Structure 1
Amino acid sequence: MEREIGIDELVAAMKAVDEAGRLFEDALAVYGARGPKRTGDDFKVAGGPVQTLQGAEEMARGARRHLADLALIVGYAAAGVEDPVDGRIEAVRKGFTGVSVGGSRMARPLLEPTVRGLRLLLTVDLFEPEFREAVEEVVRAEKATYPDPAAFRVPASAAARSVARPA
């Protein structure tokens, strides 16, 4: 059974997601100013400059998209028009993947604006417990976990086959 969600709760969520997005964008600006180059093998390093920048981008972009989704729902509700897309409330209650995916890429310690933005998301009653748990995992994580360095290793058997090819 879906619980009733009022405009006030949606607006509170919008304000929190908006502020979190601004904080994520502040952190993104800091990471971007460091000038990481998206070339070479830097993208293969979990917590490296390129992955950290990409993680910050995913958090900021995810917050902005989620804010737009919330605003659409609030607009329909304020107008007294039934939302024409079934399941939209359930989708916004699940949060957005930019937090967990972005956070798994980022170097630790996280910048202060990122931590403040994440903690702000934890205050939103609208979000399901699974999303809050994902946010808490990002805050607690001691290091970046994506990408897994093993993903870039060529198995010895495959390497041997490529070297032993007849001409």
Structure 2
Amino acid sequence: MKREIDIDQLVTAMKAVDEAGRLFEEAHAVYEARGLKRNSDDFKVAGGSVQTLQGAEEMALGTRKFLTELALIAGYAAAGLEDRVSGRSTTARAGFTGLAGGGARMARPLLDPTLRGLRLLLAVDFFEPAFRAEIEEVVRAEKATYPDPSMFRIRAASDGAATVGRTP
């Protein structure tokens, strides 16, 4: 009987995700060692210290959470209980949250461990093209793009915006 889930491919992906997670954690530790804090006023600035720290953490945590999902799929598949994880391997190939959003927050140039982790994930023949494109976009981006500064602009009362502190 042919398995629906290729365990060897899954294990290869798990090893790459595990190493990428370690590299993302290393980069996060570097940012923390630099004294970046989340209580800065620059949370509105793409690539600012608050956003960079948040982005690095999102990448590290997203990778670790995803590794747990892969381990669950591999465990059930190895035990011959693939039906218990029906559809999860397809979902896993779509990738995981944290990379695109985290990368969009981070100052450029990205730290070497971050780039190595992203390239490691690109080298694995496991993920769907859309997820691979997200990773490539993070690698190629010349600057942070989140948050968009226009999110924080207050429109003038003449633009039809409500005046703060007044009731109509």
- TM-score, L = length of structure 2: 0.91
Offset of residue 163 of structure 1: 6.3
Give identity over the alignment, percent.
Answer: 71
> Aligned equivalents of 2:23 and 2:161: distance in 1?
49
Corresponding residue number in structure 2 for 1:153: 153
Is the aligned partner of 1:80 residue 2:75?
Answer: no
Aligned partners of 1:128, 1:4: CA distance in 2, in Å? Answer: 17
Correspondence for 2:163:
162
1:24 aligned onto 2:12:
no
CA RMSD of aligned residues (A): 2.1
Instruction: List structure 1 segments (4+ residues) > 4 angstroms apart after TM superposition.
Output: 158-161
The Cα of 1:37 is off from its aligned counterpart by: 2.8
Structure 1 segment 61-80 matched on structure 2, within 5 A: 61-80=61-80
Matched, 1:126 2:126: yes
Unaligned runs of 5+ in 1: none
The answer for unaligned runs of 5 or more in structure 2 is none
CA distance in 2, matches of 1:27, 1:83: 38
TM-score (norm 1): 0.91
Cα shift at 1:113:
0.2
Q: Which amino acid aligns with 1:136?
A: E
Amino acid in the other structure paired with 2:113? P
Q: Which amino acid aligns with 1:70?
A: L
Task: Return closer, same or farther for 1:154/1:82 CA change in 2, 3 Å cut-off.
Answer: same
AA of the residue aligned to 2:148: D
Residue 142 of structure 1 is matched in structure 2 by 142
Aligned length: 165
Q: Residues 93, 163 of structure 1: CA spacing in aligned structure 2 closer, same or farther, 3 A cutoff?
A: closer
- In 2, distance between residues paired with 1:164 and 1:33? 41
